[in-house]
Amino acid sequence: MTTPFRKVALVTGASRGIGRAIALDLAQRGFDVALNDIARQADTLAETVREAEAFGGRAIALHADVSSKADVSSMVESLLAQFGRIDAVVNNAGILIAGPVETLTESSWDVVMDINAKGTFLVIQATLPAMKRQGYGRIVNIASIGGKHGAPEQAHYSASKAAVMGFTRVLAQELGSSGITANCICPGIILTDMGRVNLDDPEVQKIWRSKTAQDRIGAPEDVVGPVAFFCSDDSAFVTGQTLNVDGGIVFS
């Protein structure tokens, strides 16, 4: 009797926040997980790996800067050497540096675009050959409702997330007959370390709560179910879509 293989998921930016929640949820659902973050997050990433392993599968840490092609290539080579396949990719790594357009530095624009947009491209480009060989893959790119309607002092962040959505739509068209789907999740206001850029002030939290139909700020765990759906075969006939996970802020 053949033992069914465990599917393998790569989650970038997995040491904390939404990435950590996604990683633990996929591990609980039976995936082996390869968890990525930059080297300075090694300790928190190692803790996420230990928590993921507690669900009974395999979990590994992969340190890489997703904006570096060399780092990403090495990361994917290591993943395939250890797991032999890759079934789902969740591009979650991202940063936000707030600042008005008038005084925004070129370096701030570049680093946000490099990690959020180019990083997504590089990870997909590196993982596509393995998924194409398998004739199977699930790509989930984490964008943001900011990529749809923007927010003051987030021009570069909003532009990077709009780029991720456009990139995903093209991926879906290029990969349509390959057994690989590509979809986007657009979280709303989520209470994470990065989200606190918007939420340091209790009055700001109150304003954002009032903007949601559910009258609450989101938690990382609110994002995991939609991601798991796009990583599963339940979404086999869904590709090129963008799903808002925001408690009711953007209605489209």
Residue 107 token pair: 């370096």
Spatial separation of the C-alpha atoms in residues 193 and 156, rounded to whole Å: 19
Say what the alpha-carbon torsion angle 112, 106, 171, 89 is, to the nearest 10 degrees. Answer: -20
- Is the Cβ–Cβ distance between 10 and 34 less than 8 Å? yes
Contact 215, 181 (CB under 8 A): no
Other beta carbons within 10 Å of 40 = 10
Is 136 known to be catalytic?
Answer: no
Q: Which of 157, 167, 208, 230 is catalytic?
A: 157
Exposure pattern of 179-208 as b/e (b: 16+ CB <10 Å)?
A: ebbbbbbbbbbbbbebbeebbeeeeebeeb
Active-site residue numbers?
157
